[in-house]
Amino acid sequence: AQSVTQPDIHITVSEGASLELRCNYSYGATPYLFWYVQSPGQGLQLLLKYFSGDTLVQGIKGFEAEFKRSQSSFNLRKPSVHWSDAAEYFCAVGARGSTLGRLYFGRGTQLTVWP
Amino acid sequence: GAGVSQSPSNKVTEKGKDVELRCDPISGHTALYWYRQSLGQGLEFLIYFQGNSAPDKSGLPSDRFSAERTGGSVSTLTIQRTQQEDSAVYLCASSLRSSGETDTQYFGPGTRLTVL
């Protein structure tokens, strides 16, 4: 069965520090991969996605993620965190070749940014 | 352009009452999804529409939950005889799905349902 693991429930970083949020998936084939961000009281906003091609993908707000097939991982990174990045981050996978299209989400990582 | 909209933004109801939640997808998006976000369960898939049909209803938790989509656009999620465990944020998403494969889903702001 498909599953997504975000091992860190809560991460705290100082403003200006680098950030890496971890995501591992279990899937029969290479899935489509997504990172979404959710601010309090808001819906999910797409940060970036991987469908194929270059395994290092760039997203909005200075985020990037790298797909590593050998590790079944799709970790999210940002070189310098801003206070406005404080939010909850969700990794999600979608089935390649499926006509159903549902996403499977990790449990989320809450990011706190210290000034 | 306009994003996915949902109404109401908040709904408080009494146990046993029926509620209807509405989703307006992005214009031209043929696929529409409902998810539920609760503290204990994270983000759970409920149902997927392609046009007006629902090829995947596997996430609906009980027969108290139903959904429909009309005109290939607006969707309504109905919960009958609400229970306290139905309290959650209900999120709607839409995507183009023109290729028949998974593509990018865009989410609405959600409806927060509280069952007293």
The tens digit of pLDDT for each residue in B54-73 reads 988 999 999 999 999 999 89
Select from B77, B75, B67, B105 the least CA-distant residue to A101.
Answer: B105
pLDDT in tens, A72-85: 999 999 999 999 99
Query: How close, in Å, is residue A98 to chain B by CA atoms?
Result: 6
Distance of alpha carbon B105 from its chain centroid, rounded? Answer: 13
Q: pLDDT-derived band of residue A52, with 50, 70 and 90 as boundaries?
A: confident
Q: What is the largest CA-CA distance in chain A?
A: 45
The CA R_g of chain B, rounded to the nearest whole Å, is 13
Q: pLDDT-derived band of residue A29, with 50, 70 and 90 as boundaries?
A: confident
Query: How close, in Å, is residue A97 to chain B by CA atoms?
Result: 6
Identity at B62, one-letter amino acid code: S
Does the structure show a pLDDT above 70 at B102?
no
Identity at B21, one-letter amino acid code: L
Q: Which two tokens stand for residue A92?
A: 């999600």
Q: What is the pLDDT of residue A96?
A: 73
Query: How close, in Å, is residue B110 to chain A by CA atoms?
Result: 6
Does the structure show a pLDDT above 70 at A97?
no
Residue A90 CB partners (closer than 8 Å, separation 6+): A6, A35, A36, A37, A38, A44, A105, A106, A108, A109, B43
Which residues, listed in sequence order, are joined to residue A47 by a DSSP beta bridge?
none
3-state secondary structure of A111: strand
Per-residue pLDDT, averaged over A52-59, amounts to 92
A96 touches chain B (CB under 8 A): yes
Residue B102 CB partners (closer than 8 Å, separation 6+): A32, A94, A95, A96, A98, A101, A103
Q: pLDDT-derived band of residue A98, with 50, 70 and 90 as boundaries?
A: low
pLDDT in tens, B4-27: 999 999 999 999 999 999 999 999
Mutate: best of A36, A44, A45, A49, partner B, most B CBs <10 A: A44
Q: pLDDT-derived band of residue B79, with 50, 70 and 90 as boundaries?
A: very high
> Given an 8 Å threshold on Cβ–Cβ distance, is A95 in contact with B102?
yes
The per-residue pLDDT of chain A, averaged, comes to 92
Contact A8, A21 (CB under 8 A): yes
Q: Which residue has the tokens 């998006």?
A: B29
